[in-house]
A and B are shown apart, each in its own frame.
Chain A
């Protein structure tokens, strides 16, 4: 139960933080008018319009929608595209950061979750990556593989080379090494935990989708340096979601 308490504590501090904000950004409309919707979504009805040269106050933002208060006190939600047609108090055009593929190509850090198959075992991978240049990055990944006879936990450090980072679907090559911890299933008798070194090569691709996310798919060949006479050869594929900062 302690984690529930931690979350509760976080929630309290988060709500206190939400209410600390007092000053709001004011902008002046330069379009003929902007439409205010009753809610933060395209389907909510338009119930009010604010005319050119009126000032509005921006309160909060949810995804691409902004809660604004008109000078007569009417509160509604306006879309980012409409708010870009406004001026700030210095007379400059309001600019909101658009997250697009350019931002994705320029990313410094990324994190993601992938799911797949490793020689019949289902896998879940969590990873975080840092990009040295547009082409070269390093990442730390944690993979849980659940098979019929054992559970595996694979920790890996990878080096990725992305030769064409500007492509919408951009391929990459990976090299990595790490550790595989094997825990036999509880229903098996007389089996012991094992920990072995492993190395892998892989190919894969990123596909940018929109805003802050992209898809990633990968195929890897692992070599496990086990105590047995032969090294094990494992194939793995996975696909998942990537977000970036």
Chain B
């Protein structure tokens, strides 16, 4: 009997305490919000910065093909600027060689077929901006310019053969705006050729002008 009463009181007490606890908990849970904060987070994604270290363009000029006359050359170039001083450049150009003076004088002799007269070259060069500067046009305009030196290696296909070619040169870059530049280039393409009897080193000077885009 005593056991049963004790059990009754104990369980009642337990129920009441748990009820009180839960109401107390409910009260503390209720948010006390006096001012509603209007938090607006900035988007975490940062805008990408547009880098302009690549340069892609075309050029046209005159190539003096030793013994085969001076002809128009067209080409394309791609450059990557490692730093403000150095860049690497790959270029490809083509021209059609003319007649040698021997061919013209002898009349009917042809040293090369028409296909063999097609000259094309590619090269990979390393460049150094030796004199960076500014050019002023009038009183309110300034343009970035650079005089650069280039040297590289490549191959020239001419007279039915590919020939290992070294090139050295100097160029002037005139930057019109953030993405457009003009170039004036003078190059010497040096390769060995054995078409005219003996093996000799030929110097093939090229003067060209071109446009490139930075991206």
Contact = CB atoms under 8 A, between A and B. Distances in A.
Interface of A: 1, 3-4, 7-8, 10-11, 14-15, 17-18, 21, 23-25, 38-44, 58-67, 88-90, 113, 115, 121-122, 124, 144, 146, 148, 151, 185-187, 210-213, 241, 243
B76 A3 contact: yes
Given A8-B58, A38-B142, A66-B49, A211 B164 contact: no
Interface stretch (B5-13, B20-28, B154-162, B201-209): B154-162
Contact of B47 (A23, A39, A185): A23
A1 B74 contact: yes
A89 B42 contact: yes
A59 to B, nearest CB: 7
A88 B56 contact: no
27 contacts: A4-B74, A7-B56, A7-B57, A10-B56, A11-B57, A14-B215, A25-B46, A25-B49, A40-B84, A42-B84, A43-B133, A60-B50, A60-B52, A61-B50, A61-B52, A63-B82, A63-B84, A65-B84, A90-B42, A115-B153, A146-B162, A146-B163, A151-B161, A186-B159, A186-B160, A187-B161, A243-B80
B117 to A, nearest CB: 13
A57 to B, nearest CB: 9
Contacts of A21: 48, 50
Nearest to A144: B155
B213 interface: yes
Q: 4 closest pairs, A vs B, by CB?
A: A186-B160, A122-B164, A146-B164, A25-B47
A186 B144 CA distance: 47
Interface in B107-141: 116, 124, 126, 132-134
Contacts of B49: 25, 58, 60-61, 66
Interface residues on B, range: 35 or more
Nearest to A44: B134
A121 B161 CA distance: 14
Contacts of B82: 63, 210-213
B29 interface: no
B2 interface: no
B3 interface: no
A39 to B, nearest CB: 5
Interface in B173-203: 178-180, 194-195, 199
Contacts of A243: 80, 88
B200 to A, nearest CB: 13
Nearest to A184: B161
The B contact surface, by secondary structure, is strand
Interface in B36-51: 42, 44, 46-51
A58 B49 CA distance: 7
Contacts of A24: 47
Contacts of A185: 161, 194
B194 A18 contact: no
A90 B45 CA distance: 10
B163 A211 contact: no
A4 B76 contact: yes
A213 B215 CA distance: 20
B110 to A, nearest CB: 14
Contacts of A66: 49
Contacts of B163: 146
Contacts of B159: 186
B182 to A, nearest CB: 13
Nearest to B145: A39
Contact of B44 (A4, A40, A58, A90): A90
A67 B164 contact: no
A59 B50 contact: yes
Contacts of B92: 3
B215 A39 contact: no
A15 B46 contact: no
A162 B161 CA distance: 38
A94 B57 CA distance: 34
B177 to A, nearest CB: 10
Contacts of A15: 179-180, 213
A213 B87 CA distance: 11
B83 A11 contact: no
Nearest to A185: B161
